[in-house]
Amino acid sequence: MAEPAIDAEIIDRATAALIAEVREGRRKSIARLMSIAESTGSGGKPALAELHRHTGRAHVVGLTGVPGSGKSTMVRALTQRFRETGRTVGIVAVDPSSPFSGGAILGDRIRMLDLSGDPGVFIRSMATRGALGGLARATLDVVDVLDAAGFDMVIIETVGVGQDEVDIVQAAHSVVVVSAPGLGDEIQAIKAGVLEIADIHVVSKCDRPEAGETVADLRAMLRLGTLGRDQASTWKVPVVATSAQKREGIEFLVDAIDQHRAHLTESGERTTRHRRILETRILKAAEDIVRDRLLRQNRVRLNTLLDEAVARDLDPYTAARRLLGEG
Amino acid sequence: MAEPAIDAEIIDRATAALIAEVREGRRKSIARLMSIAESTGSGGKPALAELHRHTGRAHVVGLTGVPGSGKSTMVRALTQRFRETGRTVGIVAVDPSSPFSGGAILGDRIRMLDLSGDPGVFIRSMATRGALGGLARATLDVVDVLDAAGFDMVIIETVGVGQDEVDIVQAAHSVVVVSAPGLGDEIQAIKAGVLEIADIHVVSKCDRPEAGETVADLRAMLRLGTLGRDQASTWKVPVVATSAQKREGIEFLVDAIDQHRAHLTESGERTTRHRRILETRILKAAEDIVRDRLLRQNRVRLNTLLDEAVARDLDPYTAARRLLGEG
């Protein structure tokens, strides 16, 4: 009985030291705690549990848009503008690359865009890998690390496709959806899925002649009430026109984000939203725990059930209930 | 105690009748059972459990590729070719559109392509909606319906992005990944994530001059061993060049699928793969059950934990463990 107590104490002391370093903004410690958050083992959980106590100061912006919409350029311009207004920025780029080899493309691209020399900016790439649900959990833990480290703004960048990524971006305080004029048919169809979750719409590449139409379309959809995630909210979703090439409009996007932030606080919606985000995180964590347990502790039982299911003597639903010790 | 018994009997009789009709290939009954499979309620589960007994005959092809790769055109050409060789075809188009309003775009597009008049073809669109994991479960149930209804080939079409969709396409017997020459940078990056799961690579739009390079790149990657999902398999992943415009190459794709099917049977890999697919389905079903239970039966407990988490007195991991009755 003595050993676990000592182990727990060692973990606690190491955890406390690491979290103190993160809160001082030490970059190596931030990176280390992020790696702990990303690793699938549950060894990092005490650190993450303790970390949560020190979060809640950062404003989290979820920025999404389909391939080709100019997200990465937008993130860069937004970051530069936030820096000009004296704010520090953490960026989490959720990378759509391989779930197998684990890649890092968006993040690398942002890094190349001349932001990484600035100590007021921290960039982290998250590669899609491992189990379902794991990406959302790990991403939100990494956001917690940046929050606890004192970054004023945290930007989560995702490609707006797939339920997982919609879940991630919805866990932000302000959801920004980037649209570009004149993309292909199928891409527009995919985009339709994320338009509804926007707190702020931004149209990129407004130096192009077709951009006016895209802006008008979004405004019409908003007026007709076919967009807008939260019927109960009094927030009026704006459409911001930008051109990264002409370096235009980014200040309006920053204004819109700041106004949305103020709105959340004044209306009390910040608490509602925070509560909804935490609900998602708790349920995802509970699912993770249950999945781990099913796979690890019930392996023999699962194999027996699988034998029967392969022989078609058992269907997946009955097998699932039996795996959970029912029926 | 009498009532539940009577209820169960009524369900059983109605279920047995519906499944008998599905097995006779009656289209209205097929559509009805699919709607039951799609609906989130658990009322349809007895029907789906019973259905599973009557599956296992169809060969399931998962076809995926990024927006703009020409997937829908490929599905249409493939279906026409299967029909010419006397086989019936079920198509499940997993639609990347709105998780909120529920849309149906891919399916509608395929439908427009002049296949729906043929009684040997059945097309169903699945819209991304509802809970995480629900899409994969519902899609594989719909595949079961088509299998039990006697369709020789079932094609699952998905846009190859997001972990959910990778899970879905991996639940097929033969995974076909479509690449098109000359897509943009970010799109290629996304594509990288699905290249590894291919049993068969197919390059579309080979009337274009850049196509030769795409074919050569894929072959080089395969030779270097950077692609290929299953190291233990003796299957040599082929690269098939096609042009829908010139109506060329589809017969080679059909040959490749038939060869892969024969390989799976001869090598015994069909059983291994079937077992792996069932394992995924059982675990997903178990997760669904647990999630339902957490949300429904523990609502009061969850709200209490949420109060503490919102006040930052509790982190999501500890809250999750408490929700599960631990710690």
The dihedral formed by the CA atoms of A175, A176, A181 and A183, expressed in degrees to the nearest 10:
-50
Number of domains within chain A: 3
For the cut 60, the answer to whether the pLDDT of residue A32 exceeds it is yes
The three state secondary structure string of chain A is CHHHHHHHHHHHHHHHHHHHHHHCCCHHHHHHHHHHHHCCCHHHHHHHHHHHCCCCCCEEEEEEECCCCCHHHHHHHHHHHHHHCCCCEEEEEEECCCCCCCCCCHHHHHHHCCCCCCCCEEEEEEECCCCCCHHHHHHHHHHHHHHHCCCCEEEEEEECCCHHHHHHHCCCCEEEEEECCCCCHHHHHHHHHHHCCCCEEEECCCCCCCHHHHHHHHHHHHHCCCCCCCCCCCCCCCEEECECCCCECHHHHHHHHHHHHHHHHHHCHHHHHHHHHHHHHHHHHHHHHHHHHHHHHCHHHHHHHHHHHHCCCCCHHHHHHHHCCCC
For residues A255 and A145, membership in a common domain is answered with yes
Confidence of residue B131 (pLDDT cuts 50, 70, 90): very low
Could you tell me what percentage of chain B is helix, strand and coil, using 3-state DSSP and rounding each to the nearest 5? 55, 15, 30
Which pLDDT score, from 0 to 100, does residue A98 have?
Answer: 40
Domain at A116, CATH number: 3.40.50.300
pLDDT for res B98? 39
CATH number at residue A39: 1.20.5
Give the C-alpha distances (Å, rounded to integers) separating B120 from B76, B91, B149. Answer: 13, 11, 11
Binned at pLDDT 50, 70 and 90, residue B99 comes out as very low
Please give the residue that has the higher pLDDT: either B9 or B153.
B153
Statement: residue A10 has pLDDT above 70:
no
Which residues 11-40 in chain A show a CB within 8 A of chain B?
none
The per-residue pLDDT for B70 is 81
Statement: residue A101 has pLDDT above 70: no
- The reply to whether B15 and B27 lie within a common domain is yes
- Mind listing the pLDDT tens digit for each residue in A104-140? 445 555 555 566 678 899 998 886 554 344 777 888 8
> For residue B4, what pLDDT band results from cuts at 50, 70 and 90?
very low
Cβ contacts of residue A260 below 8 Å, gap of 6+? A173, A174, A199, A200, A235
Residue A8 confidence (pLDDT): 56
Q: Could you give the CA distance from residue A202 to residue A226 in angstroms, rounded to a whole number? A: 17
What are the pLDDT digits (tens) for A197-249?
A: 889 999 998 988 888 888 888 888 788 765 555 566 789 999 999 987 777 89
Distance from CA of B53 to the nearest CA of A (A): 5
Across A175-199, average pLDDT: 72
Asked if A102 and A232 sit in the same domain, the reply is yes
Q: Which residues pair with A121 in a beta bridge?
A: A89
Same domain, B37 and B167: no
Q: Which of A46-55, B171-180, B250-259: highest mean pLDDT? A: B250-259
Q: What is the pLDDT of residue A168?
A: 81
Q: Using CB atoms, pick whichever of A45, A193, A271 lies closest to residue B310.
A: A271
Six-digit token string for A70? 């100019």
DSSP, collapsed to helix, strand or coil, labels residue B179 as: strand
For residue B10, is pLDDT > 80? no
Beta bridge partners of A200: A176
The domain boundary residue, chosen from A54, A78, A99: A54
Same domain, B238 and B299: no
- B177's CB contacts (< 8 A; 6+ apart) are B64, B65, B160, B194, B195, B197, B198, B200, B201, B202
Of B143, B153, B175, B147, give the one whose Cα is nearest residue B260: B175
**Is B324–A282 a contact, with Cβ atoms under 8 angstroms apart?**
no
Can you give the pLDDT at residue B171? 87
Which of B163-167, B235-239, B315-319 has the highest average model confidence (pLDDT)?
Answer: B235-239
Binned at pLDDT 50, 70 and 90, residue B280 comes out as: confident
**Closest chain B residue to A280 measured between Cα atoms?**
B316
Q: Do B306 and A279 touch (CB under 8 A)?
A: yes
Provide the chain A residues 185-214 that lie in CB contact (below 8 A) with chain B.
186-187, 189-190, 192-193, 196-197
Cβ contact A101–B196 (<8 Å): yes
Closest residue of B to A310, CA-based?
Answer: B275
The verdict on B220 and B114 lying in the same domain is yes
Looking at residue A99, what is its pLDDT? 38
pLDDT tens-place string over residues B106-124: 555 555 556 667 889 999 8
Instruction: Report the SS3 class of residue B153.
Output: strand
Is A55 within 8 Å of B309 when comparing Cβ atoms?
no
Chain A interface disruption, residue of B64, B100, B302, most A CBs within 10 A: B100
What's the gap in Å between the CA of A225 and the closest CA on chain B?
A: 12
Q: Do B67 and A285 touch (CB under 8 A)?
A: no
With CA atoms as reference, the chain B residue closest to A134 would be B163
Based on the domain organization, do B131 and B208 belong to the same domain? yes
pLDDT at B251 over 60: yes
Percent share of chain B, pLDDT over 70 = 77
Higher pLDDT, A239 or A102: A239
Rounded mean pLDDT, B13-33: 92
* Alpha-carbon distance A35 to nearest alpha carbon in chain B (angstroms): 17
Taking alpha carbons only, the member of B319, B322, B290 closest to residue B306 is: B319
Confidence check: pLDDT of A268 > 70: yes
By three-state DSSP, how is residue B21 classified? helix
**Mean pLDDT computed over every residue of chain A:** 80
The domain boundary, picked from B267, B289, B306, lies at: B267
Mean pLDDT of B132-157: 87
Same domain, B61 and B49: no
Q: What is the reported pLDDT for B170?
A: 82
Of chain A, the percentage scoring pLDDT greater than 90 comes to: 33
* Mean pLDDT of the B287-300 span: 78
- Min Cα distance A322 → chain B (Å) is 9
> Can you give the pLDDT at residue A228?
52
- Candidates A98, A158, A299, A308, partner chain B, best to mutate (most B CBs within 10 A): A98
CA A231 remoteness from chain centre: 23
CB distance from A43 to chain B under 8 Å?
A: no
B76, B217: one domain: yes
Nearest-CA residue of chain A relative to B101? Answer: A193
* Residues A40-65: tens digit of each pLDDT: 544 456 778 888 889 999 999 999 88
CB contact under 8 A, A159 and B305: no
Comparing alpha-carbon positions, the chain A residue that sits nearest to B311 is A53
With contact defined as beta carbons under 8 Å apart, do B55 and A315 qualify? no
Q: Is the pLDDT of residue B101 over 60?
A: no
Q: Which of A31-35, B9-13, B28-32, B235-239 has the lowest mean pLDDT?
A: B9-13
Residues in Cβ contact with B321 at an 8 Å cutoff, skipping those fewer than 6 apart: A286, A289, B327
Is the per-residue pLDDT at B246 higher than 70?
yes
Q: Are A157 and A29 contained in the same domain?
A: no
Q: Is B315 within 8 Å of A52 when comparing Cβ atoms?
A: yes
Tell me the backbone φ, ψ of residue A260, rounded to 5 degrees.
-65, -40
User: Among residues 82-141 of chain B, which lie with CB inside 8 Å of chain A?
Assistant: 95-101, 103, 105-106, 128, 132-133, 135
The distance of B105 to chain A (nearest Cα, Å) reads 7
Question: What's the confidence (pLDDT) of residue B57?
Answer: 93
Tell whether B51 is within 8 A of chain A (Cβ): yes
Query: Which pLDDT value is given to residue B2?
Result: 40
Least confident of A77-86, B108-117, B225-234: B108-117
Q: Residues B169-192: what's their mean pLDDT?
A: 74
Of A147-161, B132-146, B301-315, which range is least confident?
Answer: B132-146
Chain B residue closest to A184 (CA)? Answer: B68
A90-99, A206-215, B83-92, B281-290: lowest mean pLDDT where? Answer: A90-99
Judge if A321 and A185 occupy the same domain.
Answer: no
Residue in A99, A159, A290 closest to B287 by CB: A290
Asked if A305 and B318 come within 8 Å (Cβ–Cβ), the reply is no
Q: What is the pLDDT of residue A183?
A: 65
**Which pLDDT belongs to residue B164?**
67
- pLDDT value at B5 more than 50: no
pLDDT of residue A160: 59
- Show the domain range for A310: 268-327
Sort out which chain A residues have CB atoms less than 8 A from B193's CB and list them: 96-100, 103, 128
Residues B146, B50: one domain? no
- Band of pLDDT at residue B262, cut at 50, 70 and 90: very high
Mutate to test the interface with B, among A126, A274, A317 (most CBs of B within 10 A): A317
Among A267, A284, A318, residue at a domain's last position = A267
